[in-house]
Chains A and B, each alone.
Chain A
Amino acid sequence: MKELYLIAVIAGEKVAIPAEQIDSVVKVRESVPVPSAAPFIAGLFALRSRVLTLIDCQFFVSGEPAELTPGQPAIVVNIGGCHYGLLVDAVIDVVQTGIVPTPLPGQLPAGWSDIGRALLDIDGATYLLIDPDYMVNPALRRAA
């Protein structure tokens, strides 16, 4: 069975996200900060009449909050009935592959091993498969 993956760029590195979890990809013009919230929350933004939470993917990796440039792409996912936008540097492509993801090697730096779930080889290139569930609520996995 072939699966679709979205290839995006986080902190300068290409990653893959399972397309079945993705609603759409939008451009974020502006966001409103959420004071005293967790540092990986970049703010709130409006998508038509809905208010979405913007997740700063780069923060997990680099520990540095990203500056939103107007028009930056965000990947909209629906997790637990709530919509989130995953703020990424760029969205590159959608690929289809039947290749089964391989387990993570042990030696990834901390940030990457938190958000990564597996490795994916597509056409000779290897991508880290990202886990959006973790990024929208890291406390859940730590507790589990």
Chain B
Amino acid sequence: MDDLIQEFIAETRETLDALASELVLWEQNPHDTALLDNIFRFVHTVKGSCGFLNLPRFERLSHAAEDVLAQVRDGKREASAALVDAVLGIIDRIGELIVVMESGEPLPDGSDADLIAALDRRANTAGPAAHVATNPANDTGSAARRQAAIRSIRVPLDLIDHLMNGVSDMVLARNEVARCLRDDQNGPVLENAFDRLSSCIADMRDAIGQTRMQRIERIFSPLPRLVRDLCADLGKQVDLRTSGSDVELDREMIEMIRDPLTHIIRNAIDHGLESPVARSLAGKPSAGRLSISARQSGNQILIEIADDGRGIDVDKLVARAQAAKVRTASEIHALSERARLELIFAPGLSTADQVTAISGRGVGMDVVRSNIERIGGSIDLENHPGKGLRVILRVPLTLTIIPCLTVRAGGQEFAMPRSAIREILFDNNDQVRIQQVGGRDLAYIRGECLPHVALETLLGLEPTAEPAARHRTIITVNASSELRYALAVEAVIDHEELVVRPGAPVIMADGLYAGTTLPDNGRPMLLLDPLGLANRAQLNEFARVEEAMQGDGPDAAEIDGGSALMFREAAGMLRLITLTAVERVEDVEAVRLALAGGQVRLSIDGESRPVFGLDQLPQSGHAKLLHLSDGTRHVLYAVDDVIDIVRLPAKVEPASQPGLVGGIALLDDEQIEVIDPHWVFSHMIGPAPSAERPACCLIGTDDPWTRNILAPLVSAAGYRPVFAGTHGGQDIDAAISIIVGDAADTPPSLRGEIIRLRDTLSSGGQDADTIYRYDRAALLGRLINGRTGASGT
């Protein structure tokens, strides 16, 4: 019986979650019979189950709601706003009772007569039975939806973890076999069999990893209800749009971002969006727009919450900060525009004029930020005063697999999350100056002053006695957006993606470690917590001074073309690259570089990647590399040295020829070439392999002109030419089709865009889709348009 009740609780909860958005839709559109059917089905199921499980209170509630809904369905009553409210009241009560049951407490005494009476009272005052429009299309739609529901079973998390452990064991066993295979010379048959086994195990690991994933829908679906209730309380109108609810996230991650997301939405509706009257005065539609979207970018999930309200009033925020003594006037004066906006994250600050029940008590954005940062994420604001605010949350895809840097200190290896690392350099670099000031070590790196600590000191390890000639490596760490420091380690070993598990409570207690991991060598490794290290080094009180020094100054925005990194090429000239393309700068030892296949390649993350800008191995024993990233792919760019970070002027003169140099920037009357990152990526990664390109169907006689002259042009425009003969083409999923020659017929059912090539300049029947076969510009134009159109959909 207990099992049945547990099942009932779980099922009712899940349906309630899924139903929340439908309830709101139904309120807006009470005549939608498909929605009504869904709600009716819910109360009907609850009623059926609780009669069986002997839960009279649930039964009374659901029975009353079912009666009323049945009347609406039969057209005997109209779904008035009052009736909708009463039904929502009942469903809410069911939800509350479920929560009580789940906690194992006895159901509280109380009658639901008030709610049930509310339904009936409306029955008396309701007018004559109104005609409810029924639309047969809706009925079939709901039937289809019912069938589309994915069949699923509930599996205990323990079991999945057990499976995951099993697979991890398999991976380790495979690695050991791989080592044995490498040692002995074995035949290719064995190797092939082993490769097949490897790929099976990899598939298996991915599949089990996915069982932990859940659609973000789980937190999106209750939002319409939340927004509706807030609007009702605050007298505002909100047009809520969500997108990307099919994005998947780790189950635990979903739980971790639920509260921060809710908080940001509350803020947006309470403070951001104006009242309908104020909105129409400002020339905006009376319903405020709130859009929430999720998407995946590389190994991060981006969640954007954008409203078209009044945005953050930075001046008011600054005044509040001063009044609340969060910052002194001189500190605030030194802050950049961006840092002022980020005062919103300071504890104890709010821009709300009135404290309401919803928000405005000044506990909030600081907690939101620390919660997001705790799971390795970040939060950004884009403020447009008077026009709206966009909040961007970035969270890692899973909690368990983290890209890490492995470092050595005191003879022991540690992992450090790569997201916190800005730059890796050797301490004999010209741009690093380490100096003791007032008993604390400071590192000056290109003019920026950072507190400098050695990892061995923090962990209480003995520094390994080593030849004085060997240099140490300095990692600059972003522990949080306000706290940076330089961490000295013995050496950086590798970049790896590591499966991280929480450590035992006794180990996690002092905050230095974020977890444990087991790399391929089978020796356990500790994952360092960058913020915990900073706390251990007592760097917190140091941070505020830093921030003022890093501020861009008030006039920085005037020449804004973004920041750029100035560096010296191996050949000696200075060049610039936009800073957003540079993920980090790293000094690598020459032993990790190898000359292979005519390219210099770096071994990194267990793979070999080509390095741009080096045609021979460096003589000096190490090389400085820029890690360029477009979010998913990485390119390494070798430089002689990094000089400075500068502001790019708003106007960059474009280069005459496409190539490595995309433009010329004028900095203090000096002309400096600016690298075109797009060219570097396209050069290093190459165009999409031919299988991934859209197909272009060539229809007509298979003559030498088509094959030798047209096809290469089509390939150059980024297509995969497919020869279809005179009548083919229907069964090829082509993005674009070219019909060659006046004589060829147009096949009856062609998908995509069609271009017809005519043989001569002056044939009749001219229309926009017919192009002379040597009108190269027009033909290429059409092809390129077709491609951007295809990739845009």
Residues of chain A having any CB pair with chain B under 8 Å = 30, 32-38, 41, 44-46, 48-51, 53, 80, 82, 84, 136-137, 139
Decide: A49 and B504 in contact? CB cutoff 8 A.
Answer: no
> Which residue in chain A gives the minimum CB-CB distance to B536?
A36
One of B167-175, B321-329, B399-407, B745-753 at the interface: B167-175
Decide: A48 and B503 in contact? CB cutoff 8 A.
Answer: no
Cα A32 to Cα B501 in complex, Å, equals: 16
B761 within 8 A of partner (CB)? no
> Which residue in chain A gives the minimum CB-CB distance to B513?
A34
> Which residue in chain B gives the minimum CB-CB distance to A31?
B524
Partner of A32 from the list B171, B460, B523 (CB cut-off 8 Å) is: B523
Q: What's the minimum C-beta distance from A37 to chain B, rounded to whole angstroms?
A: 6
**30 A–B pairs (Cβ distance < 8 Å), ordered by A:** A32-B523, A32-B526, A33-B412, A35-B410, A35-B412, A35-B460, A36-B458, A36-B510, A37-B506, A37-B507, A38-B506, A41-B506, A41-B507, A44-B526, A46-B522, A46-B523, A48-B165, A49-B172, A49-B518, A50-B165, A51-B503, A51-B516, A51-B517, A51-B518, A53-B503, A53-B507, A80-B505, A84-B504, A137-B504, A139-B506
B459 within 8 A of partner (CB)? yes
Decide: A82 and B459 in contact? CB cutoff 8 A.
Answer: no
Decide: A49 and B517 in contact? CB cutoff 8 A.
Answer: no
Contacts A35-B410, A48-B169 given; indicate if A137 touches B506 (C-beta within 8 A): yes
Decide: A44 and B172 in contact? CB cutoff 8 A.
Answer: no
Decide: B522 and A139 in contact? CB cutoff 8 A.
Answer: no
Cα A50 to Cα B503 in complex, Å, equals: 11
Chain B 369-425 interface residues, beta-carbon cutoff 8 Å to A: 410, 412
Decide: B412 and A53 in contact? CB cutoff 8 A.
Answer: no
Decide: B506 and A53 in contact? CB cutoff 8 A.
Answer: yes
A residues less than 8 Å from B513 (CB atoms): 34
A residues less than 8 Å from B524 (CB atoms): 32, 44-46, 51
Partner of B504 from the list A33, A46, A53, A139 (CB cut-off 8 Å) is: A53
Cα A122 to Cα B516 in complex, Å, equals: 40
Cα A33 to Cα B507 in complex, Å, equals: 11
B residues less than 8 Å from A50 (CB atoms): 165, 168, 501, 518
B525 within 8 A of partner (CB)? yes
* 7 nearest CB pairs, A to B: A49-B168, A35-B459, A44-B524, A53-B504, A51-B516, A51-B524, A48-B169
Q: What's the minimum C-beta distance from A34 to chain B, rounded to whole angstroms?
A: 6
> Which residue in chain A gives the minimum CB-CB distance to B517?
A51
B509 within 8 A of partner (CB)? yes
Decide: A32 and B165 in contact? CB cutoff 8 A.
Answer: no
Decide: A37 and B510 in contact? CB cutoff 8 A.
Answer: yes
Q: What's the minimum C-beta distance from A115 to chain B, rounded to whole angstroms?
A: 15
Which residue, A33, A37, A50, A80, has most C-beta atoms of chain B within 10 A? A37
- Interface on chain B toward A: helix, strand, loop, or mixed SS? mixed
Cα A36 to Cα B459 in complex, Å, equals: 6
A residues less than 8 Å from B505 (CB atoms): 80, 82, 137
B residues less than 8 Å from A30 (CB atoms): 523
Cα A82 to Cα B295 in complex, Å, equals: 34
Decide: B169 and A49 in contact? CB cutoff 8 A.
Answer: yes
Number of B residues, CB within 8 Å of A: 30
Decide: B526 and A34 in contact? CB cutoff 8 A.
Answer: yes
B residues less than 8 Å from A36 (CB atoms): 458-460, 510, 512
A residues less than 8 Å from B685 (CB atoms): none
Which residue, B502, B510, B524, has most C-beta atoms of chain A within 10 A? B524
Chain B 459-514 interface residues, beta-carbon cutoff 8 Å to A: 459-461, 501-507, 509-510, 512-513
Cα A45 to Cα B503 in complex, Å, equals: 12
> Which residue in chain B gives the minimum CB-CB distance to A44?
B524
A residues less than 8 Å from B412 (CB atoms): 32-33, 35
B residues less than 8 Å from A41 (CB atoms): 506-507
B residues less than 8 Å from A44 (CB atoms): 503, 516, 524, 526
Q: What's the minimum C-beta distance from B368 to chain A, rounded to whole angstroms?
A: 28
Contacts A35-B410, A44-B524, A51-B517 given; indicate if A136 touches B506 (C-beta within 8 A): yes
Cα A37 to Cα B504 in complex, Å, equals: 11
Cα A116 to Cα B171 in complex, Å, equals: 40
Cα A32 to Cα B458 in complex, Å, equals: 18
A residues less than 8 Å from B165 (CB atoms): 48-50
Decide: A48 and B172 in contact? CB cutoff 8 A.
Answer: yes
Which residue, B165, B412, B507, has most C-beta atoms of chain A within 10 A? B507
Q: What's the minimum C-beta distance from B500 to chain A, rounded to whole angstroms?
A: 10
Q: A34-B513, A36-B458 are in contact. List 17 more A-B contacts (CB 8 A).
A: A34-B526, A35-B410, A35-B412, A36-B460, A44-B503, A44-B516, A46-B523, A48-B168, A49-B165, A49-B169, A49-B518, A50-B165, A53-B504, A82-B503, A82-B504, A82-B505, A137-B506
A residues less than 8 Å from B502 (CB atoms): 82
A residues less than 8 Å from B459 (CB atoms): 35-36
B residues less than 8 Å from A45 (CB atoms): 524
> Which residue in chain B gives the minimum CB-CB distance to A80?
B505
Decide: A46 and B518 in contact? CB cutoff 8 A.
Answer: yes
Q: What's the minimum C-beta distance from A5 to chain B, rounded to whole angstroms?
A: 24
A residues less than 8 Å from B509 (CB atoms): 139
> Which residue in chain B gives the minimum CB-CB distance to A34?
B507
Cα A38 to Cα B513 in complex, Å, equals: 13
Q: What's the minimum C-beta distance from B163 to chain A, rounded to whole angstroms?
A: 12
Cα A142 to Cα B525 in complex, Å, equals: 30
A residues less than 8 Å from B522 (CB atoms): 46
Cα A49 to Cα B505 in complex, Å, equals: 19
Cα A136 to Cα B171 in complex, Å, equals: 29
Which residue, B169, B460, B503, B506, has most C-beta atoms of chain A within 10 A? B506
Q: What's the minimum C-beta distance from B722 to chain A, rounded to whole angstroms?
A: 47
Q: What's the minimum C-beta distance from A53 to chain B, rounded to whole angstroms?
A: 4
0/1 interface trace, chain B 155-195, chain A, CB 8 Å (1 if under): 00000000001001101100000000000000000000000
Q: What's the minimum C-beta distance from A107 to chain B, rounded to whole angstroms?
A: 29
Cα A136 to Cα B343 in complex, Å, equals: 42
Cα A98 to Cα B600 in complex, Å, equals: 72
Cα A50 to Cα B510 in complex, Å, equals: 22
Cα A33 to Cα B503 in complex, Å, equals: 13
> Which residue in chain B gives the minimum CB-CB distance to A50?
B165
A residues less than 8 Å from B461 (CB atoms): 35
B residues less than 8 Å from A35 (CB atoms): 410, 412, 459-461, 512
A residues less than 8 Å from B504 (CB atoms): 53, 82, 84, 136-137
Q: What's the minimum C-beta distance from A144 to chain B, rounded to whole angstroms?
A: 14
Q: What's the minimum C-beta distance from B462 to chain A, rounded to whole angstroms?
A: 10
Cα A82 to Cα B503 in complex, Å, equals: 8
Chain B 413-459 interface residues, beta-carbon cutoff 8 Å to A: 458-459
Cα A137 to Cα B507 in complex, Å, equals: 10
B residues less than 8 Å from A82 (CB atoms): 502-505
Contacts A32-B412, A35-B459, A80-B505 given; indicate if A49 touches B523 (C-beta within 8 A): no
Cα A124 to Cα B638 in complex, Å, equals: 76
Cα A30 to Cα B522 in complex, Å, equals: 10
Cα A34 to Cα B165 in complex, Å, equals: 23
Which residue, B460, B501, B505, B522, has most C-beta atoms of chain A within 10 A? B505
Cα A33 to Cα B504 in complex, Å, equals: 14
Q: What's the minimum C-beta distance from B460 to chain A, rounded to whole angstroms?
A: 5
Cα A38 to Cα B516 in complex, Å, equals: 16
Q: What's the minimum C-beta distance from A52 to chain B, rounded to whole angstroms?
A: 8
> Which residue in chain A gives the minimum CB-CB distance to B414?
A35
Cα A51 to Cα B503 in complex, Å, equals: 8
Cα A92 to Cα B512 in complex, Å, equals: 38
> Which residue in chain A gives the minimum CB-CB distance to B505?
A137
B residues less than 8 Å from A46 (CB atoms): 518, 522-524
Which residue, A49, A50, A80, has most C-beta atoms of chain B within 10 A? A49
Which residue, A34, A53, A136, A139, has most C-beta atoms of chain B within 10 A? A34
Q: What's the minimum C-beta distance from A134 to chain B, rounded to whole angstroms?
A: 12
> Which residue in chain B gives the minimum CB-CB distance to A138?
B506
